[in-house]
Structure 1
Amino acid sequence: MALLIGCLVALAHPAADAWWLGWIGLVPLVLLLARAGSYGEAAWRSSLAAVGYFLTVLQWLLPNVGFLALVVGVVAGALWVPFGLATYRLLRDPSVARVALAVVVLPSVWVTVEALRSWEGLGGPWGLVGLTQWQVRPVLAVASLGGVWLLSFVVVAVNVGLAAPFLPGAGRAARLLGGGLAVVFAALAVGYGLLRPEPVVTGSFRVVGVQPGVVYGGPERFAAHLGLTHRAAGLGQDVVVWGQSSMPFDPARRPDVVARLRQAAATAGSDVLVNVDARAADGRIRKTTQQYGPGGLVGTYEKRRLVPFGEYVPMRPLLGKVLQGTAIAEEDRAPGREPALLRVGGTRVGPLISYESIFPDLRRELVRLHADVTVVQGSLTSFHGTWAQPQQASAEAVRAVESGRSAVLVELNGTSAAFDARGRQLAWLPPDSHGIFVVDVPVYEEITPYVRWGDWVPRTAGTITAVGVVLLVARAVRSRLS
């Protein structure tokens, strides 16, 4: 049952998009954990639920990692163990006080674990429960207060509260309190979204996205992008954006390529953002956003956060031979060091590259540098037709609300999308759509509480979790001494 529950909760994510499962899917798991016969049994049940959840959400990753799929399963199984232990501790004997504590403590434990496992070296914040609400706009507004972390907290708190009326041994007061708190949390989230005023629009920024699909061969891919860029002539755009790895050679070494890019910008009537995935002059392979105008190179940005095992291998000297025969990177890419803003006319564009799009802090950093719009160049060719593509695209809605800035994602091959600062969908091109798309994104100057306050939710959740652990240890020590 635990394994099946984990698989079902995963269906709240794209492409299944059963977002409502996010609000009730954890209820049977909470009941299962509360009825465990021991801490060990609670740990195993939560572990199996986590395996079902993560192997379903990330099933697109498994064919590419070879034997590391076993490691993914083991790590996934460990992630929900703290939640299982805390649930058993608080709800095995559900009094009014314990139910009240559970509605606060259990979401705190959940968010703490989500924040810790979102470290870039562990693969980043994929599969966060809060991301399931990307289409539910009244609730999505909560992300402007505390990021995706506050969304996760509210969703888990509602699940815990809804489980209370069904807990064996719970009295009438405890059942009513749990159900009532669930209603309060949901009502506060929806109420904030409905009452939140619209931000002031200070301008508009027109983007032409180029999505050629899978094109093998460097020259052929470059030619496909050039051909589609020429079709942007007369559309009145501010910029043309290509996807990640759209140029598998360094223009700095190819004067003929620079000349064609300058001509493309002149023909299109706007600057062009290309993405270079090639060996640079220092001998290292880098992924770089490059802005070209009719006069040549205007600005650059180097990808800073690289995909573990996809763009670099941690401890390569130890793991290199073991990873032979997998789709793991054969050579480490070199990371960039600092953020950048690209000026396109009077608009400040905050660039990010593919994997970087899922990290809330990078978007917040760009807004603090006064970015007007954020643009992501992506490519998920290795995962064509899988859940990876809509998962990355849907996360842009949450990033837009968190940052208070319109967000545009242009894929070489994937799901391109654009959202305004309230999470309204402005564009959505599935992976099999090829060609160009035009989207007008509003420009805002609003500074959201999340941008201003940062990750206060994970810090608060971590403090609550740490206090809980200290109290449990102290009680255990007192029991032994007595």
Structure 2
Amino acid sequence: MSTIVAAALSGLLWLAGSGLHPVPALTWLAPLPLLLLAVPRKALTATLVAWPIGQLGLAGYFIRTLQIPLPVVIAFVLYGTALAAGTVVLAVTLLRRGRTGTAVLAAPALWVLGEYLVTLALPNGAWWSLAYTQADVRPVVQLTALTGVWGVSYLLVAVPIGLAALRTRPKPALACLLALAVTAGGWATWSLTRVPDAAAELRVGLVALEQPEDGMPLGEAAGRELLARYVARVESLAERGARIVVLPEKVFGVDSPAALAEAFRPVTARGVQVVAGAVQGQRNVAFVLGGTVRTYTKQHVIKGLEDWITPGDRDLIVDGRYGVAICKDLDFPELVRGYRARGATMMLVPALDFTGDGWLHSRMAVVRGVESGTTVVRAAGFGRLTVSDPTGRVLGEATAGDADLLVTVTPSARGTVYGRTGNWFVLLSVLLLVTAVVRAAYRKPAIAATADR
């Protein structure tokens, strides 16, 4: 009965604490019922049931929205199940053998490495991580500026292991939890109280208007009518002080940017830059309309849905400060790190999304900004319009459809440890995992079995 209850409870907590609209507090609690079982065999059985329950909310999104083949979805759920089961069993085994410190501080490395392997095996970047569940919890997400998303995922596993250990070995468990709290809390306090480098304020605008489908051809009446509506909205933002205006991804279908440049000329002639997403032939592009027309081609396309698109291979930095990317590009931390290393302090991002995933995908972009220390201006045609600062504060947000935003930003020139060093925490996790496995395999002598070190 305890196994059944633990499986059901953890499954429901993972269901509510992950997915498209997670409740962040529940993510921390989800593994706890499994860890409290204290018997590896029972913990394994319960986890094999709990994780698939927790993935039910995403299964429909993968199959219906992203059109991922059912066998691939099943394989991915099985992978997550194996990873969760391995992590829980490793932690329970260590706790059972009195190795509390190793269980709390080293066992979570298995989950971290499992997440990282997904970024290597699949062409989707760092899109699969528990860390995004905490995107609106700014003190927690500050850790990504030090470790990337891997440090947040580590905490989300380490804390419930520590809580489970309080029942049998309270002193070492409390010491481990205190060490984690001091380290993560100290970093968050320092990050949130740092004064950013002085920079001039800038007003940015975002617009996402309702349209029946993406890539409306400008050669058709519906496309020209949509362009006229966008021009009027951009002119309104410019009159209110916007110096840069970002439109969504794939708004128009064009043969060349000439018609767009001409339509927005009354605005760009006043020094306003317009970033407009469009489909040009087999390319998904963002045109930066200003004194000249600069073109960025999306580098990371959605496998399956965008196989017809030819990806680009070049970054674009405007005025030496503003990096341009498109939607899925921001699922890749290394792309934003590269922009930041070359001096970009703000990302201008036309995006699309799929309505239901508006919160989740916008928050992935927010996390990219925290990781590398950049302001992110992102307009999604079927999602959300968001502007976030380098600490993850959402400065402005609206739901696409008939929406615009005008936000004052101060693009910071402050870099981050993660932006400069990359995935160092993954290497540390390898060492931690080796330690955990060795300690789990070694049985203490009977005389020492009651002592914890």
TM-score of the pair, normalised by structure 2: 0.85
- Counterpart secondary structure, 2:148: helix
For the residue of structure 1 that corresponds to 2:253, the secondary structure is coil
- CA shift digits 1:105-130 (9 cap, x unpaired): 22111111111113483534334222
SS of the equivalent of 1:243 reads coil
Residue 33 of structure 2 is matched in structure 1 by 28
**Which residue, 210, 213, 225 being the options, matches 1:213?**
210
The alignment status of 1:262 with 2:238, answered yes or no, reads no
Query: How far did residue 448 of structure 1 move?
Result: 0.8
- Give the structure 2 partner of residue 246 of structure 1: 251
CA distance in 2, matches of 1:67, 1:306: 14
Query: 1:282-341 CA deviation, whole Å, 9 max, x = no partner?
Result: xxx111111112x441x22211111111212xxxxxxxxxxxxxxxxxxx2111112221
Indicate if the aligned counterparts of 1:112 and 1:462 stay in contact, CA closer than 8 A.
yes
Structure 2 residue aligned with 1:51: 52
Q: 2:411 aligns with which of 438, 443, 455?
A: 443
Is contact 1:203–1:444 with CA below 8 Å preserved after alignment?
no
**Secondary structure of 1:435 counterpart:** strand
Shift of 1:185: 1.1
Supply the AA of the counterpart residue of 1:403.
Answer: S
Distance change in 2, residues 1:469/1:213 (3 Å): farther
Determine whether 1:354 maps to 2:327: yes
Structure 2: tracts of 5 or more residues without a match: 1-5, 218-222, 444-453
- Match of 2:300? 305
Distance apart, 1:442 and its partner CA: 1.1
SS in structure 2 opposite 1:177? helix
Aligned to 1:186: 181
Out of 443-452 and 396-405, give the one that drifted further.
Answer: 396-405
Cα separation, 1, equivalents of 2:8 and 2:312: 40
What does the per-residue CA deviation read over 1:178-230, in whole Å, with 9 as the maximum and x for residues that have no partner?
24312331343123212342322322222110111334443144333223222
8 Å CA contact 2:13–2:27 kept in 1: the answer is: no
Deviation at 1:431, TM superposition (A): 3.6
Distance 1:257 1:67 in 2: 34
Distance of 2:92 and 2:170 partners within structure 1: 12
Matched, 1:37 2:5: no
Q: Measure how far apart 1:64 and its partner are.
A: 3.2
Query: Would the alpha carbon gap of residues 82 and 184 (structure 1) be closer, same or farther in structure 2, given more than 3 Å must change?
Result: same
Whichever residue aligns with residue 39 of structure 2, its letter is R
Given that residues 13 and 391 in structure 1 are in contact (C-alpha distance below 8 angstroms), is that contact kept between their aligned partners in structure 2? no
Counterpart for residue 342 of structure 2? 369
> Who is 1:76 aligned against?
77
TM-score, with normalisation over the residues of structure 1? 0.80
For structure 1, the 5+ residue unaligned runs are 280-284, 313-331, 476-482
- Aligned residue for 1:287? 284
Question: Where does residue 428 of structure 1 map in the other structure?
Answer: 397
Separation in 1, partners of 2:363, 2:260: 34
Whole-Å separation in 2 of the counterparts to 1:18 and 1:143: 19
Counterpart of 1:240, as a letter, is V
How far did residue 67 of structure 1 move?
A: 7.5
Which amino acid is the alignment partner of residue 383 of structure 2?
G
| Aligned equivalents of 2:435, 2:93: Cα separation in 1 | 20
Q: 1:80 to 1:136 in 2, by over 3 A?
A: same
- What SS is found at the alignment partner of 1:20? helix
Cα distance in 1 for residues equivalent to 2:441 and 2:256: 60
Please tell me whether residue 236 in structure 1 is matched to residue 237 in structure 2: no
Match for 1:275: what amino acid? G
Contact in 2 for aligned 1:417/1:428 (Cα 8 Å): yes
Residues 200 and 246 of structure 1: CA distance in aligned 2, closer, same or farther (over 3 Å): same
Give the match's secondary structure for 1:200.
Answer: coil
In 2, Cα distance between equivalents of 1:471 and 1:177: 16
Question: Is the deviation greater in 144-153 or in 232-241?
Answer: 232-241
**CA pair 338-120 structure 1, distance change in 2 beyond 3 A:** farther
Residue in structure 2 matched with residue 224 of structure 1 by the alignment: 229
Compute the displacement of 1:30 (Å): 2.6
What CA distance in whole angstroms lies between the structure 2 residues aligned with 1:204 and 1:23? 38
Q: Is the 8 Å Cα contact of residues 48 and 77 (structure 1) preserved in structure 2?
A: no
* Aligned residues of 2:144 and 2:370 also touching (Cα < 8 A): yes
Q: Partner of 2:16 in structure 1?
A: 11
Question: Could you tell me whether the CA contact under 8 Å between 1:393 and 1:415 is conserved in 2?
Answer: yes
**Take 2:66 and 2:242, find their aligned partners in 1: how far apart are those partners?**
40
Figure out how many residues of one structure are paired with residues of the other and give that number: 428
Where 1:396 maps in the other structure, the secondary structure is helix
SS of equivalent residue, structure 2 residue 265:
helix
Contact 1:403–1:448 at 8 Å: present in 2 too? yes
Change (3 A) 1:192 1:31: same
RMSD of the TM alignment (CA)? 2.8
1:397 counterpart SS class = helix
State the alpha-carbon separation in 1 of the partners of residues 127 and 11 from structure 2. Answer: 15
Separation of aligned partners in 1, 2:76 and 2:87: 19
- What is the rounded CA distance, in whole Å, between the counterparts of 2:237 and 2:361 in structure 1? 26
- Deviation (angstroms), 1:83: 4.0
Shift of 1:470: 7.8
Instruction: Report how far residue 102 of structure 1 moved.
Output: 1.3
2:447 matched to which residue of 1? none
Q: Tell me if the contact between 2:94 and 2:439 (Cα under 8 Å) persists in the aligned partners.
A: no
Q: In the alignment, is residue 103 of structure 1 matched against residue 104 of structure 2?
A: yes
Quote how far apart the aligned CAs of 1:65 are.
5.2
Q: Does the 8 Å CA contact 2:208/2:381 hold for their aligned counterparts? A: yes
- Name the residue aligned to 1:342: 318
Q: Give the Cα–Cα distance (whole angstroms) in 2 for the partners of residues 6 and 362 of structure 1.
A: 34
Tell me if the contact between 2:118 and 2:128 (Cα under 8 Å) persists in the aligned partners: no
Q: 1:404 — aligned with what?
A: 373
Structure 1 residue 378: Cα displacement: 0.6
Partner of 2:276: 274
- Distance in 2 (CA, whole Å) between partners of 1:291 and 1:65 is 29
- Change in CA separation of 1:119 and 1:439 when aligned onto 2, cut-off 3 Å: farther
Q: Distance in 2 between the 1:401 and 1:66 partners?
A: 30
User: In the TM superposition, what whole-angstrom CA distance separates every residue of 1:394-453 from its partner, at most 9, and x where no partner exists?
Assistant: 223322221111111111221111111111120111245x23211111121112111111
Aligned-pair CA distance for 1:376: 1.6
Q: Alpha carbons of 1:66 and 1:418: their partners in 2 closer, same or farther (altered >3 Å)?
A: closer
Which residue in 2 is equivalent to 1:480? none
**1:360-408 CA-partner distances (Å, limit 9, x unpaired):** 221111100110211221102xx22x1x110011223322221111111
Structure 1 window deviating more from structure 2 (100-109 vs 44-53): it is 44-53
